[in-house]
Amino acid sequence: MLRYLTGGESHGPCLTAILEGIPAGLRINKKLLDEELRRRQAGYGRGERMNIEADEAEILSGLRGGETIGSPITLLIRNKDWENWKDIMSPFSPPESSRDKDKSSLKTTDKLTRPRPGHADLAGAIKYNHTDMRNILERSSARETAARVAVGAIARVLLKEFSIEIISQVVEIGKVKAHTADLTVEKIRRQRDKSKISCPDRTAEKLMIEEIGQAAKAGDSLGGIFEVMVTNVPVGLGSHVHWDKKLDGRLAQALMSIQAIKGIEIGLGFETARRPGSKVHDEIFYQERQSSMEKQGFYRKTNNAGGIEGGMTNGELLLVRAAMKPIPTLKVPLKSVDLITKELVEAAVERADVCAVPAAAVVAEAVVAFEIAKAMREKFGGDSLGEMKRNYEAYMDYVRSI
Ligand SMILES: Cc1cc2nc3c(=O)[nH]c(=O)nc-3n(C[C@H](O)[C@H](O)[C@H](O)COP(=O)(O)O)c2cc1C
């Protein structure tokens, strides 16, 4: 089974992840991991923290001579900002309850007691019986997603061995919508890579950047919508037989677990509810293959299902969309109530992003990569990459023979 856990606080010394179940014999290139981490940090609208960090993944176990050996892979990403937080975040000496000398700094040794609406602060403080909400926000922070991106980068390397690729695009920020329905996946990738906010539609990109600029000026924040596509997925990943084997359910859980994600659609998503069945379901066709390598066989002319039917991949492009709410930490804070005094106050202000939709799309690519890699490991097994590939080829020979 492919599985992982992450550890680490936003201003602690580092983030860690342990990934288990990657077969032996997979070549890992450190540059690929670091490139994914760099992508997560980029994007117009990120806060000052991203100028401090230059994330790099260190691999502490599971790899020898650039190849996986079948044992758990331990990943570590250092927080450069830790230097500035050593006292406050020290595991042993409790911070003094006196304000930091530098009043202009947001860093304070006082307890954080003014919960931010939309964040984990208040519910977490009550649940874990904390009087300092820093004990909650340090872990609820999306800094944790750096570890998930590193895990996803390894999952991606595994998927590449089977020619499976994952790509995302930002399609909405605030009120601005991009028009990219006519673009091929390859064109989306090329145009997105040139964009400051991962949006392939130039006109929309300009308006989105303006919108983020205006939100920043007003001390406000913005959310948006992105799409993740997975190409060349074989038919039959996931299963209809149990709730926890359905791939659509697993993808939704993985995506919804990303901080600030509030809605998921697969394929046509919510729009399916507004149309009659004849305008939703993708009709099935069949084209004889000229050679055993040709893709045809059963195929569809539309892909409203987003590549999943009955909890299983159907061989078409896998397409999911996720909605991110606006960032909860606002420069012009919302009203809140002090945890201790119960007085009406302004919510706490931490250093924050104005809009992190492009970054969330990179995180989404990573969690989708992990879920697809997990489903591939379940279906094709094998302790080494060679064994997994033999199993995959045998199955694909069967699929191509139908
Ligand atoms: C990439 C990324 C960056 C984020 N940056 C911030 C931030 O700077 N400030 C903030 O308050 N929330 C940020 N968030 C959102 C919060 O982490 C999230 O809203 C919070 O943990 C509460 O969880 P929930 O929104 O899922 O309920 C970010 C989320 C993502 C995915």
Nearest CA to ligand 1 atom 8: 352
Is the residue at 293 inside a domain?
A: no
- Check if the beta carbon of residue 58 is closer than 8 Å to that of residue 76: yes
β-pairing verdict for 14-20 and 3-7: antiparallel
Distance CA 33, CA 52 (A): 19
β-pairing verdict for 63-64 and 3-7: unpaired
Residue 14 sits in a domain whose CATH number is 3.60.150.10
Tell which atom from ligand 1 comes closest to the C-alpha of 141: 17
Query: Closest Cα to residue 315, out of 295, 292, 329?
Result: 295
Buried b (16+ CB within 10 A) or exposed e, 341-358: eeeebebbebebbbbbbb
Q: Which domain holds residue 108?
A: 3-267+305-401
Is the residue at 300 inside a domain?
A: no
CA of 146 to the centre of ligand 1 (A): 13
Distance CA 167, CA 227 (A): 8
Number of domains in the chain: 1
Please write the tens of the pLDDT for every residue from 43-58.
787 877 667 778 999 9
- Check if the beta carbon of residue 166 is closer than 8 Å to that of residue 229: yes
CA of 163 to the centre of ligand 1 (A): 33
Tell which atom from ligand 1 comes closest to the C-alpha of 142: 17
**CB of 10 closer than 6 A to ligand 1?**
no
List, run by run, the mean pLDDT of 10-residue segments along the chain (402 residues). Answer: 97 97 97 92 78 88 97 96 91 62 53 96 98 96 96 98 97 96 94 95 97 96 98 97 98 98 98 98 91 78 97 97 97 96 94 93 98 98 98 96 90
pTM equals: 0.95
- Check if the beta carbon of residue 216 is closer than 8 Å to that of residue 222: no
Amino acid 52: pLDDT: 75
Amino acid 107: pLDDT: 55
Q: What is the residue type of 82?
A: W
Q: How many residues does the chain have?
A: 402
**CB of 141 closer than 6 A to ligand 1?**
yes
Find where tokens 């999911």 sit.
Answer: 320
- Check if the beta carbon of residue 250 is closer than 8 Å to that of residue 260: no
Is the residue at 57 inside a domain?
A: yes
Is the residue at 329 inside a domain?
A: yes
- List, as one string, the DSSP characters of 197-235: TS-S-HHHHHHHHHHHHHHHHTT----EEEEEEEESPPT
Q: Is residue 384 classed exposed, middle or buried when 0-12, 13-18 and 19+ CB atoms within 10 A define those classes? A: middle
Query: Closest Cα to residue 170, out of 178, 162, 181, 158?
Result: 178
Amino acid 94: pLDDT: 65
- Check if the beta carbon of residue 42 is closer than 8 Å to that of residue 360: no
Amino acid 108: pLDDT: 56
**Residue 336, beta-bridge partner list:** 345
**CB of 359 closer than 6 A to ligand 1?**
yes
Find where tokens 């009406």 sit.
Answer: 344
Is the residue at 275 inside a domain?
A: no
**CB of 327 closer than 6 A to ligand 1?**
yes
Q: What is the residue type of 233?
A: V
Is the residue at 273 inside a domain?
A: no
Nearest CA to ligand 1 atom 13: 327
Find where tokens 């991009």 sit.
Answer: 178
**CB of 47 closer than 6 A to ligand 1?**
yes
**CB of 137 closer than 6 A to ligand 1?**
no
Distance CA 216, CA 173 (A): 14
Q: What is the residue type of 72?
A: P
**Residue 63, beta-bridge partner list:** 68
**Residue 226, beta-bridge partner list:** 170, 322
Query: Closest Cα to residue 146, out of 285, 29, 36?
Result: 36
Distance CA 36, CA 111 (A): 35
Distance CA 345, CA 336 (A): 5
> In testing the pocket of ligand 1, which one of 40, 50, 141 has its CB within 8 Å of the most ligand atoms?
141
